[in-house]
Amino acid sequence: MAPIEELRKLLNPNGVPEFEAVAVEGTGVFETLKAVAKKVLLSLKEDKK
5-21 pLDDT, tens digit each:
998 999 999 999 999 99
Contact by Cβ (8 Å): 5, 11: no
What's the mean pLDDT in 33-44?
Answer: 96
CA 3, CA 30: separation in Å to the nearest integer?
Answer: 26
- Rounded Cα gap, residues 47 and 40, in angstroms: 11
In this prediction the pTM is 0.68
